[in-house]
Amino acid sequence: MTAWSATVDNPVANRMRDARLPGIVGIALGVFAALLAIPPIEVRSITWSLVVGVIAGMLGIWTVTRGRRRLGWLAVASGILGVGLALLALQSSTTNLGYTFDASLVSQTLSFATPLVFGSIAGMFSERSGVVNIGLEGMMLLGAFWGVYGADKGGSWAIGLVLAMGVGGLAALVYAWFAIHLRADQIVGGTGINFLAIGITGYFYVQLYNNNRIPYGVSLLPNVNFLSGNGFFAQALGGLDVLTWASFALVIVAYIVLFKTPLGLRIRACGEHPRAADTVGINVYAIRYGCVVLSGVLAAIGGIYLSLGPEGQGQFGFNMTDGRGFIALAAMIFGNWRPAGAFAAALLFGFSSALALKLAGVYSAQAGTLFQILPYVLTLIAIAGVIGRPTPPAADGKPYAKQ
């Protein structure tokens, strides 16, 4: 901040000086640089990608100099990655590119992202109130099994959803009791929940289905078919699940609740400084209990998407979440504990999963592996502070003892 900007306090001028918009444009241009080289645009020359990528990088550097380091470096990284991906795409034949980058890549990205969105928003509510939830993975797994069980026995996906939410909430309640009232170490408690979830779902799957498959014809999550035809958008967005659309809504609702309502202020106060929140009359325990239980419910919805969604098709598999709860945690961290950021991270991670699947099919099984690692490497880079320091809630993970 220069002396000039410190003396002039004009909100409009402040907004003009804020480099947020150029940073976001830079990130978008980096993505665009990659898009130029792939269908449907598919320019078979690196020139245009390079031009756009360089502009993205310059915007990023300018953003960094204006004080928004995280956003700026992200834009620079986006520009470099965009040009790199464009170069990779140019190495490949147009036929293979056509197979890889079609409308189904978009729908698969959204499909892979859906459980991550639910999981990361779930983790966000818990952590914003000051309770670390490593047990997301286990709560998702519980949701996946009890959801499919409810849908099978109850005859409707809605019954499965309600049962999954109930079981997820119950597991979260147990965890909350340990984490809040007993002030147990939250990492230990979450690890315990993860173990317990693997055991319970596996045990009851064998017990209730006698080691057979779940019968065919389980009521699956319905698609929302509002677009039909063979157009790009109809293929990309027409066959999406009801929960995918719900996940978009969840991000908006989570943002409004956390940042625009008195309740959200209370939640964040409990996560930043529980003693201060207690002093002004906020019931820290009640807020934390509510948030952790909500976290369990949302994680279970993310889990049911795995078993009753396009991936599971009404089947349950031992430990079927397969680390997705941890990717959701990573998305939340990469998104800097903010709904829009977590959503963007979930989309990015979903895209890397979808691309990994596509590349494994079109090129070789090995080609996709690199993109499977991407979420974890990006998150590691993010917490290393290379692109600006992450800002978790100050009291995250610290038990609070009432006085």
Q: Which stretch binds other proteins (CB under 8 A): 42-50, 188-196, 248-256, 262-270?
A: 188-196
Q: Which helix (H) or strand (E) holds 13?
A: helix 11-17
Q: Which stretch binds other proteins (CB under 8 A): 71-79, 199-207, 279-287, 339-347?
A: 199-207
For other proteins, the closer of residues 112 and 178 by Cβ is 178
Q: Is residue 73 involved in binding other proteins (CB under 8 A)?
A: no
Return the residue of 15, 260, 385, 391 that touches other proteins, per CB under 8 A. Answer: 385
Return the residue of 39, 84, 166, 202 that touches other proteins, per CB under 8 A. Answer: 202
Helices 242-260 + 339-362 axis angle, to 10: 150
SS (HEC) of 136-165: HHHHHHHHHHHHHHHHHHHCCHHHHHHHHH
N residues, the chain: 403
Q: Which two tokens stand for residue 225?
A: 């078919």
For other proteins, the closer of residues 264 and 392 by Cβ is 392
Residue closest to 247 by CA, chosen among 121, 163, 399: 121
Q: Is residue 206 involved in binding other proteins (CB under 8 A)?
A: yes
> Looking only at residues 323 through 382 of this chain, which bind other proteins when binding is defined by CB under 8 A?
323, 326-327, 329-330, 333, 364-366, 369-370, 372-373, 376-377, 379-380
Local structure of 40: helix, strand or coil: coil
Give the total of residues touching other proteins (CB under 8 A). 58
Q: Is residue 299 involved in binding other proteins (CB under 8 A)?
A: no
For other proteins, the closer of residues 343 and 349 by Cβ is 349
> Looking only at residues 118 through 157 of this chain, which bind other proteins when binding is defined by CB under 8 A?
132, 134
For other proteins, the closer of residues 101 and 337 by Cβ is 337
CB 316 within 8 A of CB 304: no
With 0-12 / 13-18 / 19 or more C-beta atoms within 10 angstroms meaning exposed / middle / buried, residue 123 is: buried
- Smallest separation, CB 378 to other proteins (Å): 9
Contacts of 203 (CB under 8 A, 6+ apart): none
Q: Which two tokens stand for residue 127?
A: 């952590």
Q: Is residue 211 involved in binding other proteins (CB under 8 A)?
A: yes
Q: Is residue 319 involved in binding other proteins (CB under 8 A)?
A: yes
Helices 242-260 + 103-128 axis angle, to 10: 40
Distance CA 186, CA 176 (A): 9
CB 302 within 8 A of CB 143: yes
Residues that bind other proteins (CB under 8 A): 132, 134, 174, 178, 182-185, 187-189, 191-200, 202-204, 206-207, 210-211, 275, 318-319, 323, 326-327, 329-330, 333, 364-366, 369-370, 372-373, 376-377, 379-380, 383-385, 389-390, 392, 398-399, 401, 403
